[in-house]
Amino acid sequence: MLIIGLTGSIATGKSTVSTLLSSPPNSLPIIDADYLARKVVEPGTPGYNAIVNYFGPSTPDLLLPGPSSSSSPDNKTPQQKQQQQQLNRPALGRRVFGTSEERKRDRMILNKIVHPAVRWEVYKSLLYYYLHGHWAVILDVPLLFESGMDLICGTVIVVGVSDPSVQMARLLARDRHLSAEDAENRVLSQGDVKGKVAKAEFRGTESARGVIVWNDGGKEELEREVGRAVGTVKGTSPRWWAWCLLLAPPLGVGVAAWNLAVNYGTRRRWERKEAGERAKL
């Protein structure tokens, strides 16, 4: 089974591309890391408790008001009431999005809480789709490169825009509660989309290990871009190959190990390239 990593910066249109990939004629299963990240911090989960314990004392509005019912007696303890309160995501976002050292530290701590739990859910989903005979699955992760999950992907699709002002305008139109400063902080915290494009291209566009979907135009143009991308991927990883890997598990394990080794080597070459460019400055 081919694991296709899907990534991009905020407001580049990644969610729209994900919808197109999951709809006919593509009908590819989607593993949505954003959904899993919400799931692993639902009230009562270990992730939720860790976030409340760390951020709660310094973030008064971290929790939303819990459900209440005037028709039933309120005999819950304060701790039980807290376990019913959802996280206030905008408040948490203000704590972790930004470029200051404090926000970088808080974002790193939040990622250390959420990422391991999300990875476990991802691996369970991958096993499910593999056993059900899917030729490919979309791993939708905004921070695919940053989290290191690109290592398990045979192909990475990056959704990009060439004009940063388009990205900002889309974000402000989508999330009207954000100020211009909040929007800029969120864009910066998810990394430069051109950097992600460069990493995907470095993986190899001819071999379809890296594929770019540009989303500077309208929906029809984006649909054509997605169709082109899927055609490119299918040309290098046909459906019959997925069945071979499913019916011959030792072959599947060998191919997975080979893919991991190739991706690790590519990452090391990229890191050496970046180090060399920094040394020239």
3-state SS string for 73-140: CCCCCHHHHHCCCCECHHHHHHHHCCCCHHHHHHHHHHHHHHHHHHHHHHHHHHHHHHHCCCCEEEEE
More confident residue, 180 or 12: 12
- Give residues with Cβ within 8 angstroms of 46, minimum separation 6: 117
* pLDDT per position as a tens digit, 61-83: 889 886 654 444 566 555 555 56
Q: Where are the beta strands (DSSP E) in 129-174?
A: 136-140, 155-160
Domain limits of the chain? 1-29+135-281, 33-133
pLDDT value for 75 = 60
* pLDDT per position as a tens digit, 242-280: 888 888 889 988 999 999 999 999 999 999 999 888 887
What is the Cα–Cα distance from 58 to 164, expressed in whole angstroms? Answer: 33
- 139-143, 180-184, 207-211: lowest mean pLDDT where? 180-184
- 30-39, 78-87, 202-211: lowest mean pLDDT where? 78-87
pLDDT value for 216 = 87
More confident residue, 82 or 194: 194
Among 216, 213, 191, CA closest to 6:
213
What is the Cα–Cα distance from 156 to 234, expressed in whole angstroms? Answer: 13
Q: Which residues pair with 60 in a beta bridge?
A: none
pLDDT value for 144 = 92
More confident residue, 44 or 156: 156
Residue 178 DSSP label: -
pLDDT value for 140 = 95
Q: Which residues pair with 210 in a beta bridge?
A: 156
The per-residue pLDDT of the chain, averaged, comes to: 87
| pTM given for the model | 0.82
Across the range 176-203, mean pLDDT stands at 80
Domains 1-29+135-281 and 33-133 share a fold: yes
Cα dist from 63 to 84, 85, 92, 119, 160, whole Å: 10, 6, 9, 25, 34
* pLDDT per position as a tens digit, 206-216: 999 999 999 98
From the candidate CATH numbers 1.20.120.1630, 3.30.70.1450, 1.20.120.420, 3.40.50.300, the one assigned to the domain spanning 33-133: 3.40.50.300
Q: Which CATH number describes the domain made up of 1-29+135-281?
A: 3.40.50.300
